[in-house]
Amino acid sequence: MTAADVLQTIEEHAVEVVDLRFMDFPGLWQHFTVPADSLDEDSFEEGFGIDASSMRGWQSITESDMLVFPDPETAVLDPFSETTTLIMTCNIADPLTRENYARDPRYTAKKAENYLQTTGIGDVSFFGPEAEFFVFDDIRYDSTSNAGYYFIDSEEGRWNTGRCEDPNLGYKIRHKEGYFPVPPTDSMQELRNEMMRIMRRCGLEVECHHHEVATGGQAEIDLKYDSLLRIADQLMLYKYIVKNVARRHNKTATFMPKPLFGDNGSGMHVHFSIWNEGKPVFAGNKQAGLSEEALYAIGGILAHAPALVAITSPTTNSYKRLVPGYEAPVNLAYSTMNRSVAIRIPTYSDEPAAKRLEFRCPDPSCNPYFAFAAIQMAALDGIKNKISPGPAVDKNLYELPPQELARIPCTPRSLGEALTALERDHEFLLQGDVFTQDVIDTWIEWKRENEVEPVQLRPHPYEFALYFDL
């Protein structure tokens, strides 16, 4: 869609307002709204001014002016607003130089796409994220100087088998048994159907949806793969639709990786492949039909994984999910079909076009523009430097003897450890100026000051159970 197409859409659908959206540094959609009749073709060239000092991780108050440029290719009618609204995702630029703003995550994704084309390895990378989430009926939390707690509730949560519901009809999902039961046990079927219908209406290609493993309303809706920038844009629209459909039904959706103790967390397994001139670079005659380039890509991702997860699993809560011995894939190894490793080679099809990698460590709290760009950069580094992934591991790593498991490296145990790994290992991200040193430094500093240290300073509720009687 061009700027002229956007203006025609506004006229055809009697659009009243245009909602301009962009990604802040950590990874939340931001927006402001303008009257539709104030938009013309010059708006796409001249942009709109914003105060970038009010955005997390962006400019200081002394350098706060930035321009927002709507991307007409992202235009979509808002399915929720009572006022007829057109949404567009935007790029950020310096008002003096008109150069793209280096801390704009969308610009990093664009540079990653451009860099791939300069390598000669491929001309497009495809990503298929499988974002999991929870839909709850109630959430309360607080953290003050003398109190700290959270309380979550769900009508299908196993903890409610004995609750008086006038009547309680049962069908509460057992812990770790939420994968694929039919209704009435799966109470979210129609809610997910509505999410899927709206996604399709907004142009997202949905492959399937289902209840996920955990009790308490865990779900997954899978999007068809697309190119790096497009799928990151789509994932933001996906989250917006999930949250607003849940709210429409007086429920709340969260992409927090580990909201429940004792049950599975929400991951975002990322399927990844590289193509060149319409041909799959990852198809070949090596293990599971992969090419040598694909194996080197695996080697690159595994080699850089301790640093990579600081971007793909970027919250302190992410490391409540990435815990050795539990459901999340923390073991830095690869295999076919085996879901206990960090990288799985899917084997559903022998078709060359289906050859891809599945990186299983990421979770949906990530900034997808940064996360997908970083995954691609690690894979390219592996291909360029011919980093061997070693032999595949075809055993269930959760059942290995301790002495054998100790020989397999694993992901960092905390966000702080991951950020330290990123400090030590980020040259692969700087290639082609895809990530800048400023972006890396700002990411590490922001995460430590705003997430790691505040969590470390606060007493944990379970510490009272452990220590109050000392």
pLDDT in tens, 5-19: 999 999 999 999 999
At 61-81, the pLDDT tens digits run 667 789 999 999 999 999 999
Residue 111 covered by a domain? no
Q: Are residues 312 and 388 in the same domain?
A: yes
Q: Quick one: which of 244, 214, 220 has its CA closest to 128? A: 220
- Do residues 264 and 337 both lie within one domain? yes
pLDDT for 23 beyond 90: yes
Expressed in angstroms, the distance from the first to the final Cα of the chain is 66
Does 109 reside within a domain? no
Pick from 83, 91, 364, 89: nearest CA to 203? 89
In a shared domain, residues 97 and 161: no
154 and 234 belong to one structural domain: yes
- Rounded Cα distance between 452 and 199, Å, is 35
Does position 460 have pLDDT exceeding 70, yes or no? yes
Residues 64 and 178 in one domain: no
pTM exceeds 0.85:
yes
182 & 300 share domain: yes
CA distance 465 to 469: 8
Residues 6+ apart with CB under 8 A from 351: none
The mean pLDDT of 435-450, rounded to a whole number, is 97
139 and 44 assigned to the same domain: no
71 and 165 co-located in one domain: no
pLDDT confidence tier of residue 430, bands split at 50, 70 and 90 = very high
Question: How confident is the model over 403-422, as a mean pLDDT?
Answer: 91
Q: Residue 18: its pLDDT value, please?
A: 98
Which residues share a beta bridge with 17?
A: 35, 85
Mean pLDDT value of segment 351-379: 97
Number of Cβ within 10 Å of residue 50's Cβ equals: 21
Task: Tell me what pLDDT residue 61 has.
Answer: 65
Per-residue pLDDT band at 394 (split at 50, 70, 90)? confident
The token pair that represents 78 in the structure block: 């808002």
Let me know whether 267 and 326 are in one domain. yes
pLDDT, one tens digit per residue, over 189-201 is: 999 999 999 999 9
- Output the pLDDT for position 349: 86
Phi/psi at 279 (5° precision): -120, 140
Task: Please state, as a whole number, how many other Cβ atoms lie within 10 Å of the Cβ of residue 425.
Answer: 17
**Interacting residues of 392 by C-beta distance below 8 A, sequence separation 6+:** 287, 333, 334, 335, 336, 345
Domain with 71 in it: 3-101
Q: Looking at the structure, tell me whether residues 240 and 95 fall in a common domain.
A: no
Residue 112 lies in a domain: no
Please identify, among 72, 101, 130, the residue that sits at the C-terminal boundary of a domain.
101
Same domain, residue pair 59 and 155: no
**Residue 108 placed within a domain:** no
Q: Among 137, 5, 28, 117, which Cα is nearest to 366's?
A: 28
In terms of C-beta density within 10 A (0-12 exposed, 13-18 middle, 19 or more buried), how is residue 336 classed? Answer: middle
Asked whether residue 282 is domain-assigned, the answer is: yes
The string of pLDDT tens digits covering residues 159-176 is: 999 999 999 999 999 999
Residues known to be catalytic: 51, 130, 132, 212, 220, 269, 339, 358, 360
Residue 107 inside a domain? The answer is no
pLDDT of residue 328: 78
Specify the CATH number for the domain of residue 67: 3.10.20.70
Side-chain half-sphere of 440: how many Cα atoms within 13 Å?
23
- Helix %, strand %, coil % for the chain, to 5? 40, 20, 40
Check whether 393 has a pLDDT greater than 90: no
Instruction: Tally the domains of the chain.
Output: 2
- Residue 146, C-beta contacts closer than 8 angstroms, at least 6 positions apart: none
Give yes or no: residues 357 and 267 share one domain. yes
Q: Would you state the structure tokens that stand for residue 361, as one six-digit string?
A: 């460590």
Helices (H) and strands (E) counted in the chain, each on its own, are 14, 18
Q: What is the rounded average pLDDT of the residues 445-467?
A: 96
Q: Taking residues 281-287, report their average pLDDT.
A: 94
Q: What pLDDT is stored for residue 62 in this prediction? A: 65
Q: Is residue 110 part of a domain?
A: no
E strand spans, 349-468: 357-359
> What Rg value do the Cα atoms of the chain yield, rounded?
23
Give the tens place of pLDDT for each residue, 255-266: 999 999 999 999
Final residue of a domain: which of 101, 134, 159? 101
Q: For the chain, what is the mean pLDDT?
A: 95
What backbone torsions phi and psi does residue 392 show, to the nearest 5 degrees? -70, 150
Does residue 106 sit within a domain? no
> Which domain CATH number covers 174?
3.30.590.10
| Tokens 């197409």 belong to residue | 5
- Could you read off the pLDDT of 87-126 as tens digits, one per residue? 999 999 998 899 999 999 999 999 999 999 999 999 999 9
Q: Which of 101, 136, 151 is the last residue of a domain?
A: 101
Q: Which two tokens stand for residue 48?
A: 């709109």
